Amino acid sequence: MTSEPGDTTTVRVESERGPSGPAAQPQSAGDMTEPVQAAARLGLSGLPANLLVRGRRVVVVGAGRIAARKIEPLLDLGASVVVVAPVIGTEVRAWADAGRCELVEREFRADDLDAAWLALTATDSPSVNAAVYAAGEAARVWVNSADDPANCAFTMMSVVRRGDLVVAMSTGGRSPALATYLRRFLTREIGPEYEILLDLLSEAREAMRTSGRSSEDADWQRAFDSGIVDLVRAGRVADAKELLNSCL
């Protein structure tokens, strides 16, 4: 079973006996737990980024149910996906038959990452994950291993998408269940009206810049405080646009 990154190992520290007194007392597990937890969390603290994968070669090692969950958004975002696995699941096979991804039906080899831009593993084999990670480090290719943070150069976040609006969340690997809950919660809260609202805001911003006005000086918050989201949610897009113009 793979441990969550927040799991800790009890550490016992003893100093050598000094010339003027007895050996120092070993630190208890309670004394050491907090620093060890902090170190584990720090190891998975990263810089959030939005990777532009369209047209990029992404290698996915594994072709089962979990791999399919990783592959689908890559295909939707236009990545050039190569799947390496000795056994191919039904969903992945269907994508390959439709010409959406390439299959390499065998065990992983280090040269599978030649010309790769990104790599993901979704296997139940720690040794395979480690081999992919090692090959990625040697080839300077970022690797993510599902549920195996020790073999990750980057971690994946739970994501809510509404057109170009993207909300990502992560628990640093400490609780995937919480990340999933938050994604479901925000999917309900951030409805399709926000995609329409983003279009309105973008159009208004572009019009301001075209006219020579600075969009930084506009009172965008006033529009939000005046109920523009509720207008769009109710389908009153023209009224929302009029409200936005009056606030800017």
Residue 69 sits in the same domain as residue 125: yes
Say if residue 71's pLDDT is above 60: yes
Q: Containing domain of residue 113, as a range?
A: 57-156
Q: How many domains does the chain have?
A: 2
43 located within any domain: no
Residue 80 sits in the same domain as residue 132: yes
pLDDT tens digits for range 96-146:
999 999 999 999 999 999 999 999 999 999 999 999 999 999 999 999 998
146 located within any domain: yes
Residue 71 sits in the same domain as residue 147: yes
Please, are residues 56 and 79 in contact by the beta-carbon 8 Å criterion? yes
pLDDT tens digits for range 228-242:
999 999 999 999 999
127 located within any domain: yes
Among 102, 147, 104, residue whose Cα is nearest residue 124: 147
pLDDT tens digits for range 43-62:
667 888 899 999 999 999 99
Say if residue 176's pLDDT is above 90: no
Q: What is the CATH number of the domain that holds 143?
A: 3.40.50.720
Whole-model pTM: value is: 0.73
Quote the CA–CA distance of 9 and 20 in Å, as a whole number: 32
DSSP 3-state of 159: strand
Between the two ends of the chain, the Cα-to-Cα distance in Å is 55
Scan for tokens 């994501």, then name that residue.
159
State residue 43's pLDDT score.
60
Q: Which of 109, 127, 156 is the last residue of a domain?
A: 156
State residue 204's pLDDT score.
94
Helices (H), the chain: 29-43, 65-76, 90-97, 126-139, 176-189, 193-210, 220-225, 228-233, 237-247
179 located within any domain: no
32 located within any domain: no
121 located within any domain: yes
DSSP notation for 18-65:
PTTSPPPPPPPHHHHHHHHHHHHHHHT---------TT-EEEEE--SH
106 located within any domain: yes
Q: Which of 105, 137, 156 is the last residue of a domain?
A: 156
